[in-house]
Every structure is written in structure tokens, then in C-alpha cells.
Amino acid sequence: QRGSIFEAVSGFIRDSQRVLNGELPDSEEILPDYDFIIIGAGTAGCVLANRLTEVEDFKVLLIEAGGSEQMFMDIPVLTTMLQFTDANWNYRTEPQESGCIGMRAGRCAWPRGRVVGGSSVLHSMMHTRGNWRDYDRWAGNGNPGWDYKSVLRYFKKSENMQIPKLAKNKKFHSTSGEMTLQYPSWRTPLSKAFLQAGIETGGKVIDYNAENQIGYSIIQFTMNNGTRMSANRAFLYPIRDRKNLHIAKNALVTRILIDPWTKRAYGVKFNKDGKKYVISARREVILSAGAINSPQILMISGIGPKEHLTENNITTIVDLPVGYNLQDHWALGGLTFTINSTDSIRSERVATLENIIEYFSYHTGPLSAPSGTEAIAFFDTKNPHSDDGYPDLELLFVAGSLVSQPTYKEAFSIDNNVYDKVYGPIKNKDTWMVFPMLLLPESKGRIKLKNKNPHHKPLIYANYFSDEGHDQKVILKGIRKAIELSKTKAFQKYNSKLHDIPLPNCARHGFNSDKYWYCAMKTITNTIYHHCCTNKMGPNKDPEAVVDPRLRVYGIQGLRVVDASIMPHVPAAHTNAPTMMISEKAADMIKEDWGIPIY
């Protein structure tokens, strides 16, 4: 056994104190005005609050609907469980014909962080930047300064790469930023089998955050010494003592105040502890409420598609396509392989006293492993033989499956009948799973208002598979690739077998036929939580654009959007790192626009 009860108790106290000493207190005093008001202390909001308050003259108010981050939220193994706390907005998609069919009431669960740190507190901590073509494509669409060469410095700015071998590559990595990156110290031998299977089938092992992305890798995580590094911990803890930053927690912004004549944003309204606040912004209001709430707040404040606002009795101040262009990464969920050893992760083997003692003593062992996601691989299905391809498919390897942790079924909101029939018979088995995930989707959805009440959840139309068939074909290639990997020597060592109880609604197509898998992916449609793009950045001539390349809302002065909603299209990356990059770049643009020199 590693560690002792004594060490674990001291470790627990040390961890609790780290959070107590780090977490910014809810500001006792809220001033009537600030230079900048940032709405939302999520990934983007935390980075921005840090960078803007570097300028002593800038007085900043950061407003967050959720409460403080708690110590237990930093324990990697609890990642999925955080979705069952108040730190989750708990969204559900609207039912649609061709997706989420096997989820409860035909609705997919879309969790989002409602806590200081935002979705970076709920997220699975995978750190991937995407491919250079993603950003060259953003720039090519009329957004100067967003090409990969220009944004690479912003990816590096926040990075503290603690994987020694990767840190040597100075062109792509940095060790001086706030966000620490690590491989988890504990993982199952199945992750090695995944990499070996890749090599056996002609792939190679790469650093996907460097030159090119095609290949296999252990995942780089935003972790520090075996614990979660949320944006809050990385960017707000270190600036706790800055006098020019105030934070209002448990404060829901209900409206951005805009003068309808001058079209200038001059403040915000928010509710906190039963009190209503109206606070002014001397310079700018910055909306960082994420891809679902940012469009909601804009629309409620009179910025959005005129017809839709009129339907909701909102006077339009500027008619803009807010809420359109919703994009996500999704995968077939539940593609499971059984094995004949006890090498996979199962909750009953993880949640043991021994492991708990080890975790609190040293931050090692199974509790320091994030939800079983261990390895990753990227493919360009259009140019399968190019090393420098543009990945459109990701295989996300999990050293367990829907049956390894009771919370998975709930987190994904899988219908009980479907789950019991398909996964009930293997519920005690050891398994591994792959999410074959679409990276460059063609389907697009939309966020609409339910009504103009800011306390009501907006409507989410995911529109998965609403394209001409491209998206399902890519996922199918991923399924075939995962099955190929399961047949390699590396995985046959464990006698890996594709779990073949068919989904009841798809059985008529014959298990493992292309048609079967098309039906399966529309049944267990699994979001990978990369919701974005609903306030698209684009040039003036782009009819879909909501913000300009400096992230200013068209037609309004003093209002920017800085979060995942400004992405013109989702990059071939998990979206936390790109969101940090956006915020780093935005901070420099804001400083520049207010005459502060940039170094």
C-alpha cells in the first residue's frame, strides 16, 4: 500500500487548504461602475480576468452565475459525478428525428459548468489544440490574425508543459504559463495496448500538440500533481490579491444594458442573493457565458434574429444571426469490447480505502485518473496515408465502458430499457470502449430562446446528422477502425471481443452491417461536449457573423464576446485549449484597443 491513514488525513487537510487559500472570495462590495464587466467566470472569463487586471488602471468585475469551486472537484476520478451537482446547468437537447433516439425522451444531456471555472471544472481535462488548418481556415474566412502562425503564441502563453520529453520541443511548447499539462501517473495497461494496436496497424505515436496530429498518443491532461487544473485554479488563484478585480458569485446576469439610440453597451443587470444590481461599464462589457448562455443573453438584451426576438416580445436593437451555426463534436457511444482480464477500470475496484489513502497521500493511483479516458488517435479519412493530414476523425480510448461506472448511464441519459437490454448482460464484465468521434461536422444546430425570461433554459436544437450524410460516414470509418484495432495482437492478448448485443431498434439491420451502425450512432448519440460557434466571428460581409475579428459585436459599441461561441467552426480539437487561446488573444486585442502596449 502507498501512503498511510496519517498521510492521507494530512493530504486531505493540505488539499482543502489549497482550495481555501486559493479561491477568490465573493467580493463584499460591488461598485456602481467598473472599466470592464466580464459575464461568466468559465474558461474564457478566468483567462481574461487575469490578463486584464495585469493593468492596474483597469477595474474589472467578473460575474458568475455559479458558486465557488470545491476541493472534491479537483479529484480527477470524480469528473463525471460533478454533473450531478449544482455546478452543472444540466441542459437537454430538444428531441430530433435523427439523433439521441436512445436517450431518455429522445434528448441528449448537455452538461455545462455553472461554477467559478465554468465548464473547465466539469470537463475531462483533455488538452488538444487542433490542427494548423483549423486556424488558417478561420483566417481564410476573413479573420486576419487568427491563422495558426499568429495564434500559436497564445496557445503557448498559458501553457506549462510538465511532460519533460514534450517540453523540449520549444517551437510548440512552453513551461512558463499558468496551465500545467501532464500525463496521469496512473493508467491501465490497456492504454499501452491501444498505442501498440495503432503501431501494428501502420500508425505511429506522436505529440498531437506539435507539428502534426495524425497518430496515437496518451492524452495530455490539464492536471497538476494528479489533480484537476481548472481555469479558476490556473488563472484566478494566483491573482487573488489583485485589488482591481472584484468577483460576484451566484450572480445571474439577466440583461446587458444597451442604449437604443447610441447603440452602446453601458452596463449589466444581475440578480444576486435576492437583490437586483445595475452596474455600469466605463469601457466595455465582455460576454464570456459560453456557447449556450452567451447567445441567450445577447438575444434577451435585444441582439439577435429580428423575427425570433419579435416572437418573444423583445425589441430588436441589432438584427444579427445569434444562436445559429451551433456546432459540436459527437460520437457513437457505447462501442464496447469485453476482455478476459481485470485490467480495465471498474468503480468497485477504484473506490477502495487503499486507493483513497493513496490518492490523498500522494495524488497517485486510480483516483488520479480522469474517468478512464486514457489515449487518443487522430485520422484524416480523406487522406489516410498522409502524416500531415487534417484529422476529421478521433478515436477516444476509454479503459472501461458504460458498465464500469454506474454514473455513465445517468450522465449520458441513456434510456433504461435500451441500457438494460444491451448492457445489462455484461454489467459485471471487464471492458474497454472507443468513442469514434467526428471532428469536422457538417451538421449545424441552433440555440433559440424559450422565452425572454433569463431564468428559463434556452432551447437547444443539436440537429445531429442533419447534413447530407458526410457526418455518419466519418463515424462509420471510426467504428471500423476501432474494430480493426480490437483484432490486433495487442488487444487479442486480452481476448478483446466486440460486444454484439444489438440495440433493439437497430437489430433489423443485422448487427455490424453499415446500416446497423448508422442506426446505432443515431440512437446512442454521444456529445463530446464541444458546443461552440453560436456567435460566429466573421468579416462584415459574412451574413452569418455576429462578431468581427476583434470580437466586437456588430452594430454595438462597447460589447465583445470572448468564449467558445465566437469560433467560426469547431476545430479538430477538444475545445478548452482553443477557448483559452481565444481569450489570451482577446485580452491582447482589448489592451491594444485601449492603448496598452503588448509585449
Q: Indicate which single residue of 295, 563, 584, 585 sits in contact with ligand FAD (rule: CB under 6 A).
A: 563
For residues 528 and 575, what is the distance between their CA atoms, to the nearest angstrom? Answer: 10
Exposed / middle / buried, residue 239 (Cβ in 10 Å: 0-12, 13-18, 19+):
middle
Q: Which residue is nearest to ligand FAD (CB)?
A: 42
Contact range with ligand FAD by CB under 6 A, out of 34-42, 195-203, 391-399, 499-507: 34-42
CA angle 188, 194, 199 (to 5 degrees): 140
Contact pick of 63, 190, 476, 551 for ligand FAD (by CB under 6 A): 63
Q: Which of 3, 66, 130, 305 binds ligand FAD (CB under 6 A)?
A: 66
Choose which of 112, 173, 228, 499 interacts with ligand FAD (CB under 6 A).
112
| Min CB(447)–ligand FAD separation in Å | 12
Q: Residue 422: in which H helix or E strand, if any?
A: helix 416-423
Tell me: does residue 182 bind ligand FAD (CB under 6 A).
no
What's the residue count for the chain?
Answer: 599
The minimum distance between CB 124 and ligand FAD, in angstroms, equals 3
The DSSP symbol for 500 reads -
Of the candidate residues 158, 180, 230, 575, the single one contacting ligand FAD (CB under 6 A): 575
Q: Cβ closer to ligand FAD: 216 or 360?
A: 216
Our CB check for ligand FAD shows the closer of 209 and 338 to be: 209
499 binds ligand FAD, rule: CB under 6 A: no
Least distance to ligand FAD, CB of residue 219, Å = 8
* Near ligand FAD by CB under 6 A: residue from 120, 224, 250, 344: 120
Q: Which residues contact 297 (CB under 8 A, 6 or more apart)?
A: 39, 253, 255, 256, 287, 289, 454
Q: What is the total count of residues that contact ligand FAD (CB under 6 A)?
A: 40
Query: Considering only residues 247, 399, 447, 577, which one is a binding residue for ligand FAD as defined by CB under 6 A?
Result: 577
- 180, 576, 581, 590: residue in contact with ligand FAD (rule CB under 6 A): 576
Please state, in angstroms and rounded to a whole number, the distance separating the CA atoms of residues 421 and 127: 35
CB-nearer residue toward ligand FAD: 119 or 143: 119
Pairing of strands 223-224, 227-228: antiparallel
Nearer Cβ to ligand FAD, position 135 or 529?
529
| 278-317 footprint of ligand FAD as x/- string (CB under 6 A) | ----------xxxx-x---x--------------------
Write the DSSP assignment of 178-233 as a string of letters: SEEEB--S---HHHHHHHHHHHHTT--B--TTSS---EEEEPPBSEETTEE--HII
Q: Say whether residue 247 binds ligand FAD (CB under 6 A).
A: no
Residues with Cβ within 8 Å of 443's Cβ and at least 6 positions away in sequence, in order, are 463, 464, 465, 466, 467, 471
- Return the range that interacts with ligand FAD (CB under 6 A); candidates 39-47, 323-331, 388-396, 552-560: 39-47
Any residues with CB less than 8 A from the CB of 389 and at least 6 apart, and which? 212, 213, 214, 379, 380, 382, 383
| 8 A C-beta contact, residue 586 and residue 350 | no
Stretch that binds ligand FAD, among 106-114, 133-141, 179-187, 274-282 (CB under 6 A): 106-114
HSE-CB at 223 with a 13 A cutoff on CA atoms is 27
By CB under 6 A, is residue 38 in contact with ligand FAD?
A: no
Contact 394, 214 (CB under 8 A): no
- Tell the smallest beta-carbon distance from residue 472 to ligand FAD (Å): 23
Q: What distances in angstroms separate CA 27 from CA 54, 421, 505, 592, one per listed residue?
A: 19, 52, 54, 28
| C-beta contacts of 347-350 below 8 A and 24+ residues apart | 347/404, 347/405, 347/406, 350/77
| Residue span binding ligand FAD (CB under 6 A) among the ranges 18-26, 38-46, 161-169, 305-313 | 38-46
Judged by beta carbon, residue 126 or residue 403, the one nearer ligand FAD is 126
> Of the two residues 114 and 585, which places its CB atom closer to ligand FAD in the complex?
114
Using the minimum distance from each CB to ligand FAD, give the nearer residue, 291 or 572.
Answer: 291
Please report where in the chains the cell 517551437 appears, as a residue: 171
Q: What is the per-residue DSSP string for 148-186?
A: HHHHHHHHHHTEEE--HHHHT-TTT--SSSSEEEB--S-
By annotation, the residues acting in catalysis are: 530
The C-alpha cell of 281 is what?
461599464
Q: Which is nearer to ligand FAD, 300 or 545 (CB)?
A: 300
The whole-angstrom separation of Cα 72 and Cα 59 is 32
Q: E strand or H helix at 122, and its extent? A: helix 119-122
Per CB under 6 A, contacts with ligand FAD among 513-532 are 529-530
231 vs 556, which CB is nearer to ligand FAD? 231
578-597 residues in contact with ligand FAD (CB under 6 A) are 579
446 belongs to the binding site for ligand FAD (CB under 6 A)? no
What's the closest the beta carbon of residue 232 comes to ligand FAD, in angstroms?
9
Give the separation between CA 159 and CA 168, rounded to whole angstroms: 13
Query: Is residue 113 part of the contact set for ligand FAD (CB under 6 A)?
Result: yes
Residue 29: exposed, middle, or buried by beta-carbon count in 10 A (0-12, 13-18, 19+)?
A: exposed
| 285 three-state secondary structure | strand
User: Of 51, 59, 92, 114, which one interacts with ligand FAD (CB under 6 A)?
Assistant: 114
Q: Are 72 and 149 in contact (CB under 8 A)?
A: no
When asked if residue 431 is in the footprint of ligand FAD (CB under 6 A), the reply is: no
Binding site for ligand FAD (CB under 6 A): 39-45, 63-66, 111-114, 118-120, 122-126, 252-253, 288-291, 293, 297, 529-530, 563-564, 574-577, 579
